[in-house]
Structure 1
Amino acid sequence: MKDNIIKFVLSLSLLLFYYSFQFTFTVHSFNHTNVKNNIEYLASDNFKGRLAGTLENEEAAAFIKSEFKNLGLIPFEGDYYDPFNAPFPNRLDQDPFLKILDKNGKTIKDYKYNEDYKEDMLNFKKNNLKFSKKDTIKMNNTAMQINQGNESFIFYVPENSNLSFRSSFISTDSNSLYIMITQKTFDEIKDYISKGNTVSCFIPFDIKEGKLNNVIGYIKGSNPKAAPVIISGHFDHLGSDLNGTIYSGALDNASGISFVLEFAKYIRSLGTPDKSIIFVGFNAEEFGCVGSSKFVDKYKDSLKGAKVYNFDMVGSNNSVPLSIMAGEKDTINSDFIRSLTSTLSSENVTYSCVFENSSDHEAFRKNNIDAITFSDDDMTRIHTPSDKPSFISTKSIDRCFSVASVEIIKQAFDGNPMLIHYENILMVSLISIFLVFLLYRRTS
């Protein structure tokens, strides 16, 4: 009887060792160095901030397409590119100005770009204006709104008169143009206006509409009728200012799309999933999540029941929790969120839950599709020229992987414990074989 038990335990241990040993050599180990290298590449000056509508944004899309193709992902609906039309800011080959004109139209003050004033990206419905005290002006100590007919223009002083922050472009915003100015410039303009002078301003951007691309590839599951799992991150950012200062967008969001690329290698090596897995590089997130909205509008009928894992800002070097961002109407008690928080707790990851529509999960949630965004809750350098690869932490990247990998295996591979725990199983089975062998020798 004892021999039979020993033989059974030994057989089971050998079987577990065999399969876990196979996984050890066939599964691609998620490599944070690969993620960091891709962040450095996409956030390099060569891509000039990846503003949607620019050649550099197209080059970033081409890089992602090439990576998907090299991984053996299947083109989605016959093509890796999924095009959509959208408005985008278009740089004009002219110089900006903000100046004060006297009653005869003569320039009496010419302000310096990037020192005294700078465009904000919010809108460029109209790129020039002149105004004086004859116009309707609403004003407080740090902002003025100029109304001319149906047009509205905003001049405002950012915190600490810091002109480096750049907002997302929102073509539907009700105001036509936003100009950041220092407090000193603001006070001077108020004084000049009160004395009957005219403010004249021109910003060399306008709005064009054209074709942009999301990039999509997928792995076909063994049950193609099952709702898919979607893994996504946006690759666009905010371009460069009129001085050529580049907003590299390393954390936001070269990090998220680089995480998705390395994660795709890992997932691809696990074998055929039960559910199809769709990998998406979204474009025009910085225009109000336009690319993801277009994607959901186009495919929502086939996405019912899908689970969406979006990655936006992964890899902060500041001590911040891993944020699980869900829709503004979600709660901590939803089944999808509870599964995530359970894994976060089991992995001993410090986290926070945020319920707001501020990333590419938004369109999915508005269509009742389960979706969350993994994000490091660090806004210290976001939308400024300081968002560089040198501030990326591979430790934070690994932290996100430890949670996302478990959750996505749960959903796409029916929670196969071998895929989640193969390294531990290998070690335990090896120890078991050794102990059983010792026990067998003692009893024989």
Structure 2
Amino acid sequence: MTRSTQDHPRVLDPVRISAVYRTRLLDTGPEVAFDRLTGLAATLLGTPFAFVTLVDETRSFWKSCIGVSSTDLADRQNSVQQSFCRYVIEADAELIVDDARVDPRTADNPSIELMGVAAWAGFPVRSPDGHVLGTFCAVDTSTRHWTPHDIEVLKTLALAAAGEIALREAVENAETATIHAQAATTRANEATADARAAANQAQQLADTLQESLLPPHLPQVPGVEIAVRYRRGAGGTAEVLGDFYDVFPSARDTWAVVVGDVCGKGPQAAKTTALARYTLRATAGRFITPSRNLATLNTTLRAWQTKDPRFLTAAYAALRLHPKGVSAQISCAGHEPALIRRADGRVESFGHHGVAIGLIDQPVLRDKRTVLHPGDSLILYTDGVTEGRRADSSDLFGIERLHRVLAGNGATSAGRLVDAIDNAVTTFTAGHVHDDTVILVIHLPASR
């Protein structure tokens, strides 16, 4: 066994290396999808360098590298021996180094002299099956203490980079399966079963991709109950649609709750959804004001140059414990205002209808505040609720009908109120879901 194999057994793991080659990203040029993430990291952390790397058996290839101006692929890589990424791969965990010269893990690394690395922080970028493909990292030429906020930003953006890679693989698989299905339909009758199997595989891949764009579970938020209902729109094709929701911690003991709707469907809508979720999570680590975080997302989306530009609507609420219950602040970007059902049954609109994200450079976004008291509920939803209709009718469920459902319902939990809304829409539409639907309820128990 060679010395390099002894030093880097996980780096040289053939299964891991196979996963790296499967991305088809080695020796490819810069792409906006990754550069926007590293650019965001450098801006938020104030570092001169930020990288998305892929590590094969001999080198660390810099798929994205803020701070390195050369587009020559030979200048966008270094050897495994010079790379800090090998420590992440071997440990199968993040590496946070405040002073690379004195940290025993990195003190002998040649890049300290070659690249002037003084501080380094990075997280694994994993394949869908969990192998470490490389890292998402930030590099400083001065020693520094990486704050919890810095670490959370890097962790979030590493997930975003991994999500982009997983998204591409899933879309490629889905497109391949769809092509096979289409080809199968042109064959003789005996191939019908193959066509159905391929179409089902494409649909399953689309379903898996859709699920990857939503949080796997809702966190426990102090003082409130949260419940959500998500229904995919009908259509009969292996397409990913654009409704999303998220709940995550923000700065200063605040929690963020977001519901959004991306224009369109398919891979581009999925990428926009991923960008929105990860950008909002990153900015929420610094700012709690909903309009400011939505404005940052707008800047990011406008800078994301694509041949098929997208916009989205969103309602962003910030929740924080208050002596009388929970303080709530909301900003709506092209999205219907949220609703509040007070404990006595009154229903109020909550939020100003601002401009959608991604349409103009500086949209007018306003915030609105209130206090939720014990027994109150905050309801965020997408237009799949109010625009619900039967397959053979143009009559919409509408906002007035939603108000009546809330006012006439005595549900005492978030889950029951979600059920009541969902049941009312399902009954009205006779089970026809023509568009994605999100219903998210935050409820303050009366016995709080």
TM-score of the pair, normalised by structure 2: 0.26
Between 1 and 2, higher relative CO (CA 8 Å, sep ≥ 6) is seen in 1
TM-score of the pair, normalised by structure 1: 0.26
